[in-house]
Amino acid sequence: MPESRANAFADPDRHVMEKAYARWAPLYDMVCGPIFESGRRAAAAAARQVGGRILEVGVGTGLSFADYDRSTRVVGIDMSAPMVAKAQERLATGEFPHVESVMVMDAADLAFGEGAFDCVVAQFVITLVADPERVLDECARVVRPGGEIILVNHLYSEKGLSAAIERLLARPSRKLGLRPEFPFARLAAWAQRHGAVALVERRPIKPLGVYTLVRFRRLPDTQARAAA
């Protein structure tokens, strides 16, 4: 979308999202689980390639726990207490020893030190946060140099009928905790401004290509200083 049209819609209100996900929590796995499966799995597969300690931002009910393995250590955070309660129930089954912990936390204010993770993953989250650039800054802060930030989302279609429908749905879908009109350009612009991350991949997810996987790499410190 031309930037001006993309910005015609304000970023989501945190309280609206909190309310939406409190309502979704009991139904989320049944309704949204299958819809988001291809994207969620692709992002987890990319994160497994990086390996090590992984932070999952906006972990929701923990549907992705099964997509990691024992070669990784996963920490999940989400701002929605009802969604986190579901993730904690899943963790309590004992089936996911690679998951260290799941906690309530705002992605815009991560309580982790600089470079604490090898990889940060956010599946179907960045378009829904109240301040996407601030959340991306936080992700870049807690990932180590050489580590990755991996996002997967439906992004704005930019042109044609799909784009028109997405613009039409932009306002009414907010209350449902959805956002169809978030443009890729905003992610690319953030990376450019940040200076210590590089865009390494932008790929539509099969079979339908409605989701896009985006990978950023945190530059080694020397490269980031040279680019500044």
Ligand X SMILES: C[S@@+](CC[C@H](N)C(=O)[O-])C[C@H]1O[C@@H](n2cnc3c(N)ncnc32)[C@H](O)[C@@H]1O
Among 46, 99, 128, 142, binds ligand X (CB under 6 A): 128
- The alpha carbon dihedral of 79, 38, 67, 61 has a sign of positive
Q: How far lies 208's CA from each of 13, 35, 39, 76, 154, in Å?
A: 30, 12, 11, 28, 11
Minimal distance in Å, beta carbon 227 to ligand X? 28
- Asked if 108 is part of the footprint of ligand X (rule: CB under 6 A), the reply reads yes
Whose Cβ is closer to ligand X: residue 82's or residue 145's? 82
Q: Kind of pairing, strands 117-123 and 143-153?
A: parallel
Beta bridge partner(s), residue 157: none
- Asked if 21 is part of the footprint of ligand X (rule: CB under 6 A), the reply reads yes
Backbone angles phi, psi at 78, to 5 degrees: -160, 145
Whose Cβ is closer to ligand X: residue 85's or residue 227's? 85
Among 1, 55, 60, 117, binds ligand X (CB under 6 A): 60
Among 40, 73, 215, 218, binds ligand X (CB under 6 A): 40
- Asked if 129 is part of the footprint of ligand X (rule: CB under 6 A), the reply reads yes
Say if residue 124 is exposed, middle or buried (CB neighbours under 10 Å; 0-12, 13-18, 19+).
Answer: buried
- Asked if 182 is part of the footprint of ligand X (rule: CB under 6 A), the reply reads no
Whose Cβ is closer to ligand X: residue 80's or residue 157's? 80
Minimal distance in Å, beta carbon 43 to ligand X? 8
Q: Describe the strand order of the beta sheet including 99-104 as a list of residue ranges.
A: 99-104, 72-78, 52-57, 117-123, 143-153, 212-218, 197-204
**Given the rule CB under 6 A, which of 78-86, 93-101, 184-192, 201-209 is the region that contacts ligand X?**
78-86
Amino acid at 170: A
Q: Which residue is nearest to ligand X (CB)?
A: 60
CA distance 36 to 53: 23
- Asked if 78 is part of the footprint of ligand X (rule: CB under 6 A), the reply reads yes
Contact residues for ligand X, defined by CB under 6 A: 17, 21, 36, 40, 58-60, 63, 78-80, 83, 106-108, 123-125, 128-129
